[in-house]
Structure 1
Amino acid sequence: MLAWSVGFWIFCGGFVLIEPSPYELAFLAVLVLAVLANIDLYRSSTGLLAIIVGFVPFALIAVFQVGNSTLVNAMVFSAVTVFLLLTSYFLANYVAEATDRRMRLIMQAYTIAALCCAIIGTLAYLGLIPGAELFTLYGRAKATFKDPNVFGPFLILPAMFALQRVLLGTRREQVLGALVYAVLTVGVFLSFSRGAWGHLLASSLIVLILCFCLEARIQEKLQIIVMTVIGAIAMVVGILGLLSIPEVAELFAVRAQGQSYDMGETGRFGRQGYAFGLALENPFGLGPFEFRTLKIMEEPHNVYVSVLLNYGWGGGGLYFLLVALTLWRGVKGLLRASPYRLMMIPLVATFSVLVLLSAIIDTDHWRHWFLLVGLIWGVSAAIQMDPRRTAPRAQMLL
C-alpha cells in the first residue's frame, strides 16, 4: 500500500492548478502509511532533519514580522515551506532502502506525470483540445500548472533519465528514451520559459559529459558521440519545424530577446538589489509577502534573496546550508564508483542547474525542487551503505 501511495503522490506532483493540490493531500496519506509500515530512518539523513528542525523557529519568527500582509497568509506560507522540507526528509529515508526498486517506482510515476503534462500543454497550445485556455497563459503552454515557468522546469528531471537511457541503454530503451525526451523537449519549448530552455540544454550537456566520462564503456563512447550529433540535428530540425508555425515564431522572437521587466530600478535585477539591501538591514527578515507591499509591487525573483528577506539571516543561512550540503552529497556520490551512480547523474545534472536558475526565479515552493533534494540525500545514503562498485546495468538504469 505504501508503494502504491508513493507512486500516486509523485504522479500528483504534475497537477497543481489548485491549492492545496492533490500532491499535498496525497503526501498526508503517504505519511500515515509510512508510520504504519514502520519505515526506517537512517543516520545519513540526520543532517537534513537537523536543518528542518533548526529552520522551524525562524519560520515562526518570520510570521510575526509582517506588518502589511495578513498573519494567516504568512503562517500558511511558512507552513508550506516546512511541509515541503518534510517531503525531502521522507524521500531521503524512503529511497535509502531498496534504492533501485523505489527509485524506479518514483521515476516511473514522475515520468508518466511529466508526459501527461507535456502532451496536455502541447495540445492546448495548438488548440487541439477543448478548454485549451485553461492550460495556457499569455500565449504560452502551462499545462496543469499555474505558471509556464514552473511547468517547463518540472519536465527536466524525467527528460534527463530518458536521455541517460538513450546514451547507455539497450536498443529498445534507446528508442523509448528518445521518444520520451522528444515529447518533454517540445513541452519545455512551448512553455517559452527562457530559464527552462537553458535548464534543459545545460542539464542535457552535464548528463552527456558525465555518462561519457564515468559510465560509458569504450565501445559505447563512439556510439554516444554519433548519437549526440544525430540528436542535436534532430532537435534543431524539430525546433525549426515548430518555428514554421507563425504564432510560435512570433512568440519565440519576443521571448528570445531581453525583456523590459528585467531592467531598471523596478526590473528583476533592480528588485533583487533593493531586496538584498533590506535583508541585510533586517536580521529577522520582513516575513512572507511583505516585500511586495513596499516600494516595488512584485517579488525579487531570486530565491536566495527571498529566503533572507522572508526568514531572516538564520532561516536564510540554513537554506544556503541545505543547498550546499545537497550539492556536496551529489558530487561526492558521482566521484565514487557505485551501482547507484547511474541514478545520481540525472539528479545532480538537474539539481545543479536548478540551483543556478534559482538566482533569477523563486523556487522556494517548487515541489520538484524538494523532491530532488530528498532523492539526492537518499541515493547518496545508498552509495555509502553499499560497498559494491558495480551491478548489472539493467537493474540500475532507470
Structure 2
Amino acid sequence: MAYAATAGGVKLAAPAAPGVLALQRALVWLVGASGAIVFIEPSPYEIATLLATVAFFATGLRLRLVLMPMVLMLVLLNVGYTISAIPLYDQPEVVSWIATSWYMAVTVVFFAMVTSEDTAARLDMLRRGLVVGAMIASLLAVAGYFHLVPGGNDLLTLYGRARGTFKDPNVLGAFLILPALFALQSVVSDKLGKAIRNVFAFGIMSLAILLAFSRAAWGGLVLTSAFMLALMVLTSRTNAQRSRIVIMAIVAAVLGLALIAVLLSFDATAEMFKQRASFDQSYDEGRFGRFGRHILGAEMALDLPFGIGPLQFHRYFPEDTHNSYLNAFMSGGWLSGVCYPALVFTTVIMGFRHVFVRVPWQRAYLAVFSAFVGTVGESFVIDTDHWRHFWMMLGAMWGMIAAAQAYKIRADETSSA
C-alpha cells in the first residue's frame, strides 16, 4: 500500500529512499505480527525486534529530545532493579529477569524512536501486523478450546481456558485487546466491505478473549472499547460520523451479548464462565489474599529502601504480588518504586493532553491510548511489568506524542509562511 509523504502540506515521512522506507515499514509489520507468538523461547517477537532494531539503526533512526525523560526514567527504573538484585545474582532466574527488564526498556526506546517518524505509515503497518498476529492467535485459541486441532488441546489450552500461542490465558486476553480495538474502529468508521471483514475479525478476537476466561481481559475489552468509542465521538468532525459510531457500537454490543448467550448454552463453558465471573475467588480474599498481600507488601516496602529483589515476594507470601506498582517497590526498592509509576502515569497524563490534537494518525492514537490506559488500570491487580505489548504501547505513545509536537510546529510554520 502506498502512503502519502505529505498531509496538509506538512512532511510526514522520514527522509529516506523509497526502498528503505518500504523495508522499514515491512519490519514494523513483522514485529507487530510476531508479537502474538510467544510460547517458545526465544520467541519470534524477540527475533523480529532484534532484526528490526539492527535494520533501523543501519538505515537511520533518530532519538528526539522529547524522548529523553522517558529514557531517563527507564534507566533509573532498571538501575533500581539491578542494584536490588545484587545479593541474588547466584540465582539464574533472577539474572534472566533483570536481563528481560533491560531488554523491555530497549524495546520501549525502539518503538518510541520508530513511531516518532513516518508516523502514520508505520502505525498503519503496526496495526496491520498486530491484527494478523491476533487473528492467528485467536483462531488457534478457539480451535484448541473446541478440540478442533488433533493433539492441540494441551498446547492451545491451559486448565480448560484458551491460551492459543501464549503461555498464559490472561496474557492472551490482554494482548488481544489492542488489535480488537483496531478492528472495532474499522467496524464503526470504514466503508461497508472493510467494516464487514472487521466484524468477523472483532468477533473472533472477542470470542478468544471470552474463552481465555480472564476477568481482567473481559472487563478490559468492555471498558477500553467504551472509552475509545467515546473519544472517537468527541473527536469526530461531523454529526454523521458521530451518529454512525453510536449506532454501530450499539449493534456490536447486541451481537456481543448474543455471542455470550450462545456460548453459555454449552454446559462446560457456562460452568467455567460462572466460576471465573465470581468476585469471591479464594485467592483474592483473606489476610494473604491478593488484596491483603497488597496492603502487607506496601507496609514492607516503606521499610525496605532496596526492596527484597526480583522474584522474592513469593518467599514471604503465598503468591506473587499481582500488582505491578507494588512489584516495582519490592523488586527494585524505592528508586524503581518511584520511577515505575512516574513513567506510567506521566505517559497517561501526556496521552490525555494529546487526545484532541488533530494529526493524520489520530484514529490509531485513540486505540493505542485506550488500550494503554486499560493496561495501566489492570496493573493494579496483575503483574504486567514483563508484558511485551505493554512496553510496545508505552513506547508507541511517546513516539506519537513526539511526532504530534513536531507536526504542530511544522503546520504552524507552513500556515505562517
TM-score class, shorter-chain normalisation, is: over 0.9
CA distance in 1, matches of 2:35, 2:104: 12
CA contact (8 A) 1:302 1:360 kept: yes
Counterpart CA distance in 1 for 2:57 and 2:410 is 33
Structure 1 match to 2:147: 127
Report the counterpart of residue 353 of structure 2 in structure 1.
332
Secondary structure, counterpart of 1:155 in structure 2: helix
Is the 1:286–1:311 contact (alpha carbons within 8 Å) kept by the matching residues of 2? yes
1:65·1:285 contact (CA, 8 Å) conserved in 2?
no
Name the CA distance, whole Å, in 2 between partners of 1:388 and 1:253: 53
Q: CA deviation at 1:216?
A: 4.9
How far is the alpha carbon of 1:118 from its aligned partner? 0.6
Q: Does 1:262 align with 2:294?
A: no
**Residue of 52, 58, 62 corresponding to 1:30:** 52
C-alpha contact 2:116 2:402 (8 A) present in aligned 1: yes
- Contact persistence 2:25–2:121 (CA under 8 A): no
> Structure 1 CA distance, aligned partners of 2:113 and 2:335?
26
Q: Secondary structure at the match of 1:20?
A: coil
TM-score, normalization by structure 1: 0.93
Residue identity matched to 1:306:
N
Confirm or deny: 8 A CA contact 1:340 1:383 kept in the other structure. no
CA drift of 1:55 comes to 2.6
Identity %: 33
| 1:156 to partner: Cα distance | 0.4
Question: In structure 2, do the counterparts of structure 1 residues 201 and 365 end up closer, same or farther at CA, with 3 Å as the change threshold?
Answer: same
Contact 1:165 1:173 in 2 (8 A): yes
Query: For residues 262 and 383 of structure 2, what CA distance do their matches in structure 1 show?
Result: 32
**Which residue of 2 is the match for residue 45 of structure 1?**
67
Alpha-carbon distance between aligned partners in 2 of 1:336 and 1:29, rounded to the nearest angstrom? 33
1:133 & 1:389 partners in 2: Cα distance? 54
> Partner residue of 1:183?
204
Counterpart of 2:391 in structure 1 is 370
Residues 31 and 126 in structure 2, CA contact (< 8 A), matched pair in contact too: no
Counterpart secondary structure, 1:334 = coil
Quote the Cα distance in structure 2 between the aligned partners of 1:63 and 1:123. Answer: 42
User: What is the deviation of 1:183?
Assistant: 1.0
- 1:55 to 2:77 alignment: yes
Secondary structure of the corresponding residue to residue 306 of structure 2: coil
2:179 is matched with which residue: 158, 173, 184?
Answer: 158
Deviations 1:186-231 (A, max 9, x none): 0100000000000000001011111111125212222223222222
CA distances 1:75-128 after superposition (whole Å, capped 9, x unpaired): 221121111111011111101111111111111111101110011000100011
Query: What RMSD, in angstroms, separates the aligned Cα atoms of the two structures?
Result: 1.8
Q: Secondary structure at the match of 2:149?
A: coil
Contact 2:189 2:244 (C-alpha < 8 Å) held by counterparts: no
Determine if contact 1:155/1:188 at 8 Å carries over to the other structure: yes
1:298-349 per-position Cα deviation (integer Å, ceiling 9, x unaligned):
1010111011100011012111111012112211110323333222111111
Pairing 1:279–2:305 present: no
**4+ residue runs over 4 A deviation:** none
What amino acid is the match of 1:159? A
Match of 1:140 in 2: 161
Moved more, 170-179 or 323-332: 170-179
Aligned ranges 1:79-98 → 2 under 5 Å: 79-98=99-118
- Distance in 1 between the 2:98 and 2:300 partners? 19
TM-score by length of 2: 0.89
Q: Name the residue aligned to 1:118.
A: 138
Conserved 8 A contact 1:340-1:382: no
Residue 396 of structure 1 aligns with which residue?
A: none
> CA–CA distance in 1 between the matches of 2:125 and 2:330?
37
Q: Aligned partners of 2:342, 2:42: CA distance in 1, in Å?
A: 28
How far apart, CA to CA, are the structure 2 residues paired with 1:44 and 1:20? Answer: 32
1:10–1:223 Cα change, 3 Å: closer
SS in 2 for 1:316: helix
2:376 corresponds to which residue?
A: 355
The AA in structure 1 aligned to 2:29 is G
Q: Is the 8 A contact 1:343 1:379 kept in 2?
A: no
Q: Which runs of 5+ in 2 are unaligned?
A: 1-22, 412-417
Match of 1:248, as an amino acid? T
Aligned position for 2:401: 380
Q: Which amino acid aligns with 1:90?
A: F
1:102 aligns with 2:122: yes
Instruction: Indicate if the aligned counterparts of 1:337 and 1:389 stay in contact, CA closer than 8 A.
Output: no
| CA distance in 2: counterparts of 1:206 and 1:56, whole angstroms | 32
* Alignment size in residue pairs: 387
Distance 2:79 2:283 in 1: 35
Going from structure 1 to structure 2, the CA distance change for 1:216 and 1:224 (only over 3 Å counts) comes to: farther
Matched letter for residue 50 of structure 1: L
- Aligned letter for 1:29? L
User: Are the equivalent residues in 2 in contact too, given 1:284–1:311 (CA < 8 A)?
Assistant: yes
Q: CA deviation at 1:364?
A: 0.4
